[in-house]
Every structure is written in structure tokens, then in C-alpha cells.
Amino acid sequence: MNAAQTKIAVVTGAGSGIGRSVALALAEAGWSVTLAGRRAEALEQTAAAAGEAAGERLLCLPTDVTVVGEVDTLFTGVRERFGRVDLLFNNAGTFGPAGVPLEDLSPEAWREVVEVNLTGSFLCAQAAFRQMKEQDPRGGRIINNGSISAHAPRPNSVAYTATKHAMTGLTKSLSLDGRPHRIACGQIDIGNAATEMTARMQKGILQADGRLAVEPVMDPSDVARTVLHMAELPLEANVQFATVMATTMPYIGRG
């Protein structure tokens, strides 16, 4: 495969939801895409959804992003198959226990959310950074999946909100440290894409004033189109932060 003609992407959390939608959009646009996630069967389903036309441009590599050795294996596999990495979409994440008051959240549950959302994103970004610095031509792009919760919390979401605020700091540091190496980093903050993670919002979710309310959602393909736009910019241009949300969801004036 000619890496000079085909852009190479790594998508974490590619087995479902936003990760699947983004992986499919990239594949349809002609990218070679490595699908990473914990569940091999889910990754294969994503690959099957891309159709036979994607063929050898798709690679499924089951990966737990919280494990250093598995992240190293992921990026070694990408380099051996495709020769380089042009894009990392840092998407793997978890909300943690739903609706648990702060005082009842266990240290174990806190650590799990921090490990997946923050440490996993750091480990993948670090591995991509190393590869992007060394490859020829040098450089690449990292897009982090933030959240509306990187700006405004939901009730009973302390672990998720803390990690998404931290993701913004990670994005800024990667963007700054990447400048000398032609590595661009941006963040997409997403509000209520219709995925498994947001299914409860369509049944009624706790609001800041104590009410339960059904919240509007949007199609994940709307997110995927935005990520694709960010990904296909030349490295001389960068979308630093983008917010894509269901138009009438409670965010502006969430309380």
C-alpha cells in the first residue's frame, strides 16, 4: 500500500457509537483505518459495516487503551501494516456508574473512569506522538474526543466531568508540544449523539434543577462529518476546539 497516497488513521473505541461512525466515515473517504477497542467481535462488525470496498484498508486490533503493552502493540501493528500514522482519533471512553452521588462513588469506579478516559488517551497520544515524530514525512494529527462536560457538568458525574476537563488540558499540551514536529492536536466536544452511552437521555435524565427530562439527540454521522473535516485539513491548519451538539439540548443555560 502506498502511504503517500493513502492517509492512515487509528480510531480507538471503534466498536460502537461515535468511534464506529467516525471509522466508517474515514473509510468511505478513502482512509486506511485501524480499528481499536476491547471487543474483537464489535471491531469486526464495524469492519463489516464498511463493506468489501474498504478491504485491506481496514485493520482490527483489539486493544485495552489502559494497558501500556497493548497500546505499544497497537501502534507497532499499525506501523508494520501501513508504515505510518497520519491521524489518531482518541475516542475510547466511559461514563462510569450512572447517577451515583459523589459521596457514594467508590475509589475503584473513579479510577476506572480516569484510567480509560484520561490515562488511555494519554498513552495513545504518546505512542502516536513518537511515531509521528519519526516517520517520513514527519507529522500527523491527534483529535481528542472531549464532551460538553469539558465545559459544564451534569449532576452526579464527577469522574466523567473531571476527566473531560482534563482532556482539554491534554489537548492544549499536545498542541503546544507538537508544534516543532508538525503534529497538530484538536478536540471535538460532543453533546448528545445518539449512541448506547446516551440512550438514557431519551428516557429521562436528571437535570441541574432536580427534574427528570428527556433530552434531544443527534445522529452520530453529524459528528463523523465534523471529525472528517478536522482530519483532512492540511497540517498548516487546525481546528483547535469544536463543539457539535443536538441544537436544543440543555447546555447553554444547562442549569
Instruction: Give the tens place of pLDDT for each residue, 153-164.
Output: 888 899 999 999
199 three-state secondary structure: helix
pLDDT number for residue 2: 43
pTM (global) more than 0.85: yes
pLDDT number for residue 208: 83
Q: Taking the domains of the chain in order of start, what are their residue ranges?
A: 8-245
Write out pLDDT tens, residues 229-249.
Answer: 999 999 999 999 999 999 988
Task: Provide the annotated active-site residues.
Answer: 160
pLDDT number for residue 234: 97
DSSP line for 135-159: SSS--EEEEEE--GGGTSPPTT-HH
Report the CATH architecture of 8-245.
Answer: 3-Layer(aba) Sandwich (3.40)
pLDDT number for residue 15: 96
d(CA 158, CA 169): 17
Q: Of the candidates 17, 96, 24, 74, which has an alpha carbon nearest to the alpha carbon of residue 53?
A: 24
Question: What burial letters (b/e) apply to 172-198, b meaning 16+ CB within 10 Å?
Answer: eebbeebeeeebbbbbbbbbbbbbebb
User: What is the block-wise mean pLDDT of the chain (255 residues), using blocks of 10 residues?
Assistant: 71 96 97 98 96 90 98 98 98 90 96 97 98 97 95 91 97 98 97 78 81 87 97 98 92 69
Question: What's the chain's length in residues?
Answer: 255
pLDDT number for residue 4: 45
d(CA 149, CA 251): 9
